[in-house]
Structure 1
Amino acid sequence: MFSILILPLWCLITVVLPLVYARPSSYALWGADSAIARGQGNGLDSSGKPLVSYEHGELQWALRLLYERTGNKTYYDYIKAGVDNVVDSNGNVGGGYSATQFQLDPLRVGPTFLYLYNQTKQAKYKAAADEFRAQLPIHSRTAQGQFWHKKIYPNQGWLDGIYMGDIFYATYTQFFQPDNTTAWDDVISQFDLMHNNTIQTTATPNHTFTGLLYHGYDYSHTTVWADPDRGHSPEIWIRALGWYSMALVDALSIIPTSHPGHKIILSYVHTLFPRIVSAADPTSGVWWLVMTQPGRAGNYFESSGSAMFVYSLLKAVRLGYLSDTDGKIVAAAKKAYQYMVENWVVDHGDGTMDWKNTVQVGSLNTDGSFAYYVGIPTDLNDLKGLAAFVLASIEFEQL
């Protein structure tokens, strides 16, 4: 958006006018509009080929919330166009998706299929959701029943996978099988197994005790990084915990309150969220990339996980999942948000904003060490972070 001062024609002969761009009053809208202006999250990869991507699913979730808040059909149309790039007229999912790869990541787009079916009643969107749902009964699991994060990582459960797979699983059950207690029990079990196998229970040498969740675990204890204690990974990585935190608060609005599992998920919010607040850097208010080693040389404040925490904390308080009678949780989220907009939001000068300091990736396909995590570069306008910032801003602007 920009405005141009109108001058008489004779003035234009001698005056070169600069364009004056107006910054939107809402950071949520500014972030979303910037992503759309760059063509991010549109169901296509950088070369224009269809792509089923969890990053796109994350942005679509945020755009849906903005559409519901503002009524601006631009957001709805962008969501629909993005899904139509990966779902054909018969509901077949393309974009590189293959059920037999047994990956949880692509399923993050599934809630958008369900949303569009609810909005349009077009059969193709239900067919696409059914295709994703059909993966779950055949998806590889640990002996305890945890979905493997991917087929190529046998017996490994990662926090990331809960956000990717189980929000879709829960939403599908809510839409089409609300009385399927077996499915609800399975959804709860995924959260439960992940929590119990990754929660930090003791202090270890050179690691800060946070009581939070390690990035993942190997139930078979055969991976190079698997700790003798439940096979968990060595470090608490911010974005993995961010994914899980968002999954907790999103799941609570989907899982029936009458199901005993709702109280289990609520108990994890009560346990983890105050600890997340305590783990924030006391000066900046945001969080370290490797949360088990705050302040260590090479460690830094990371933007995607920090935004995910702000979203999760504020949503939990707003919906009454977490009591904040003394205001400390909201105050912590406000402090972190202020740092975010002052340090990671950059006015690009053309009506869009840039988003800084999002780490490109974090995987457990190496040794899971501190050196690995801090050695991964950060990206400008990485959608995993920008979409999280839009979500955080939506919650912040409702305060």
Structure 2
Amino acid sequence: MTKKLSTLLVLFISCQYLFAQGNLLKDFPEGFGPKEVGKRLAYRFVDRKHMLHAGKWISYPETFNWTGALKYAEKTKDKKLFSLLEARFDKLTADEKQLLPIMNHVDLNMFGSLPLEFYLATKDKKYLELGLPYADTQWQLPENANAQQKAWADKGFTWQTRLWIDDMYMITIVQAQAYKATGDRKYIDRAAKEMVHYLDELQRPNGLFYHAPDVPFYWGRGNGWMAAGMTEILRLLPKDSKERPRILEGYKTMMKSLKDFQSPTGMWNQLIDAPDCWPETSGTAMFTYALISGVKQGWLDQKEYAPVARKAWLAMVPYINEKGDVREVCVGTNKKNDRQYYYDRPRNVGDSHGQSPYLWCVLALMEK
């Protein structure tokens, strides 16, 4: 064989291998395709009861479940589904106004991301006018702010800063949506600055995050919020942002650690580094979303990470029951410096904490 033919053969084999790696996130067995899985989950949301925050306001899990279903309707051009979701939202703003979240907490301001998604889809300014104040007030210091909140604001951070890892999805998503809706870079820049602060304060050397500085446990969904938040901001953050290299570094370090801690089944456990802990679906889905996105966006090496993401997706889907409800979802969980507490947390079926990130995975898999 001539040297030229040998070189061409090596290139051909390399191209075939890369093509096969790319197909790992495209070709799935029957029942595992993202479009069919997404339909089961998105339509399931339509007939669900509201999941309220402390029994009073639309909760962040419901908000993200709703947005995921909405994005799926947009992606698949499912006009029927979109109409059902919009009708439910219009009922909320007309007949159920008491359920609209107020704008005084990180877990409530995130609601603005939902009307902003409706605005992006319809260009109807009523949605922009409803959603944008949730992003704006996150950086507008209230008159009754305490000393700590004032100190955060003086440093250029949101007064809602708490240094809880789930904040990095709650804050990021509403600011990112505001940036997409307006093109005003202040929204994405301030979210990026906040993200870097959280990374510097909370990320451990192995790339993972304790539930809180005083709670030294790697809780799955808590880490999932961080993984998804970094993913969302990296999707939008301009290449010239001075914060981008630090966020990308934090993201890659976390993804490497997650690859190492993936269980043989393809799932991640309730406590990520505890092999004897139970497989938990919401955290697994958040990690899988971050991994799929990283491979498709070119942040992660395809050869190394596409198999990890595929293995996770194939493990996740069987946890959806015949009704379209995800099983083995950890309930809402506050921090506690007690390892057994995390082992003993109740597990829900159909909880929006789990439904939402499954839809994020669907949407990421459907990207080209």
TM-score by length of 1: 0.73
Deviation at 1:397, TM superposition (A): 5.3
- 168 and 34 in structure 1: CA distance in 2 versus 1, 3 angstrom threshold: closer
1:337 and 2:337 equivalent? no
Indicate which of 78, 82, 86 corresponds to 1:76: 82
Task: Please give the alpha-carbon distance, in whole angstroms, between the structure 1 residues aligned to 2:125 and 2:351.
Answer: 33
1:369 aligns with 2:338: yes
- Aligned residue in 1 for 2:135: 133
Contact 2:327 2:348 survives alignment (8 Å): yes
The answer to whether the 8 A contact 1:93-1:128 is kept is no
Matched, 1:33 2:33: no
Letter in 2 for 1:310: T
Q: How far has the Cα of 1:107 moved from its partner?
A: 3.0
| Equivalent residue runs for 1:75-154 within 5 Å | 75-88=81-94, 94-95=98-99, 97-99=101-103, 102-136=104-138, 137-138=140-141, 140=149, 143=152, 147=158
The runs of 4+ residues in structure 1 deviating greater than 6 Å are none
Residues 296-318 of structure 1: CA distance to partner in whole angstroms, max 9, x if unpaired? Answer: 4xx21111100111111011110
Say if 2:164 and 2:211, in contact at 8 Å, map to a contact too: yes
In the other structure, the counterpart of 2:242 is: 260
Match of 1:306 among 284, 305, 325: 284
- TM-superposed CA distance for 1:86, in Å, is 3.2
- Indicate the residue corresponding to 1:152 in structure 2: none
Deviates more, 1:304-313 or 1:367-376: 367-376
- Separation in 2, partners of 1:97, 1:103: 9
Q: 2:259 aligned to 274, 277, 281, which one?
A: 277
Question: Matched residue of 2:325: which SS?
Answer: strand
Contact 2:110 2:134 in 1 (8 A): no
Deviations 1:221-243 (A, max 9, x none): xxxxx2xxxxxx32111101111
The alpha carbon displacement at 1:24 in A equals 6.4
Residue 119 of structure 2 aligns to which amino acid in structure 1?
Y
Q: Which residue of 1 aligns with 2:269?
A: 288
Counterpart of 1:15 in structure 2 is: none
Gaps of 5+ in 1: 1-22, 150-154, 202-209, 218-225, 227-232
Decide whether aligned partners of structure 1 residues 271 and 98 sit closer, same or farther in structure 2, where only a CA change above 3 A counts: same
| Alpha-carbon contact 1:306-1:336 (below 8 Å) kept | yes
- The equivalent residue for 1:230 is none
The superposition leaves residues 95-145 of structure 1 with CA deviations (integer Å, 9 ceiling, x where unpaired) of 15222xx32122333222112223333332122113313421227366466
Kindly provide the amino acid, as one letter, of the partner of residue 202 in structure 2: T
31-40 or 374-383, which moves further after superposition? 31-40
1:173 has 2:151 as partner: no
1:52 to 58, 77, 80: 58
Residues 397 and 35 of structure 1: CA distance in aligned 2, closer, same or farther (over 3 Å): closer
Matched residue count: 328
Quick one: which amino acid aligns to residue 334 of structure 2?
S
CA RMSD of aligned residues (A): 2.9
Paired residue secondary structure (2:128): helix
Matches within 5 A, 1:156-195: 156-176=162-182, 178-180=184-186, 183-195=187-199
**2:366 & 2:175 partners in 1: Cα distance?**
29
The 2-side partners of 1:27 and 1:186 are apart by: 33
Task: Check 1:234–1:24 CA distance in 2 against 1; reply closer, same or farther (3 A cut).
Answer: closer
Write 1 or 2 for the structure with the bigger share of helix.
2
Matched, 1:317 2:295: yes
- Provide the C-alpha distance between the structure 2 equivalents of 1:190 and 1:41, rounded to a whole number of angstroms: 34
The alignment-based identity, stated in percent, is: 20
Partner of 1:360: 331
1 CA distance for matches of 2:80 and 2:337?
Answer: 41
Which residue number in structure 2 is paired with residue 212 of structure 1? 208
Change (3 A) 1:78 1:214: farther
1:384 aligned partner: 353
Compared with structure 1, are the counterparts of its residues 41 and 128 closer, same or farther at alpha carbon in structure 2 (3 Å cutoff)?
farther
> Retained in 2: the 8 A contact 1:110–1:132?
yes
Q: TM-score, normalised by structure 2?
A: 0.78
- Contact between 1:239 and 1:305, CA under 8 Å: does it hold in 2? yes
Distance 1:253 1:79, change over 3 A: farther
Once the two structures are superposed, residues 351-394 of structure 1 have per-residue CA deviations (whole angstroms, 9 ceiling, x without a partner) of x3332111011212xx3321222221000111111221222234
Q: Which residues of structure 2 form unaligned runs of 5+?
A: 1-29, 143-148
> Which residue in the other structure is 1:249 paired with?
231
Relative distance call for 1:141 and 1:328 in structure 2 (3 A) is farther
The separation in 1 between residues aligned to 2:94 and 2:189, in whole angstroms, is 33
- 8 Å contact kept, 1:114–1:125: yes
